[in-house]
Amino acid sequence: MTYPPPPPPRRGNRPLIVIVAVLAVVVLTGGVAAVLLANDGRLPWTDPTPACGYLNTVSGTDCTPPPESSHPAASYEVGDCLRMPSSTKKAIKRIDCDDATARDLEVTKIVTDAKECPDPDGQSLSGSGDKYVYCVKPYKP
């Protein structure tokens, strides 16, 4: 009895798959590194405001605060009326300016230092955990 010749050795696709997988990992890692380097170490979709630090100073990124009309993390906006609590344990409350009295305060400017207020010796408030200082004046109904 004669046996048929053995089939030729099968060449698998395993080395090709491994090479493609390694190349994909290298390309993706390089792409992420390029995005991070181009955005000062931040992913562009995570934080729209630049973080001020050494890298921004070197790259020339503007780290000045935004104009007073748009402070995304601010608790209050220019023109808001605030009612001071009767007790120091209570929080300052934002109220509708139509309901404000002469005892209440109005936010005139939002700055990062009280010295930047129009009247540096006048009243200013800063919220707990808030990075802004609110220049205020007595509300004139």
- 3-state SS string over the chain? CCCCCCCCCCCCCHHHHHHHHHHHHHHHHHHHHHHHHHCCCCCCCCCCCCCCCHHHHHHCCCCCCCCCCCCCCCCCCCCCEEECCCCCCCCCEEECHHHCCCCCEEEEEEECCHHHCCCCCCCEECCCCCCCEEEEEECCC
Is residue 75 domain-resident? Answer: no
pLDDT value at position 64?
A: 53
Buried-state track 62-86, b at ≥16 Cβ within 10 A, e below 16: eeebeebeebeebbbebebbbbeee
Is residue 65 domain-resident? Answer: no
Is residue 68 domain-resident? Answer: no
Is residue 4 domain-resident? Answer: no
Nearest to 136 by CA among 71, 74, 77: 77
List the structure tokens of 25: 């990992």
Is residue 23 domain-resident? Answer: yes
Is residue 71 domain-resident? Answer: no
pLDDT value at position 27?
A: 93
Give the list of residues 6+ apart from residue 122 with CB closer than 8 angstroms, or none.
135, 136, 137
Is residue 88 domain-resident? Answer: yes
Domain with 43, as residue range(s), is 14-59
pLDDT in tens, the chain (141 residues): 788 888 887 777 788 888 999 999 999 999 888 877 776 666 665 555 545 554 444 445 555 544 444 444 567 888 888 887 776 666 778 888 888 887 888 888 888 888 888 877 778 887 666 678 888 888 887
pLDDT value at position 78?
A: 86
Note the pTM of the prediction, 2 decimals: 0.44
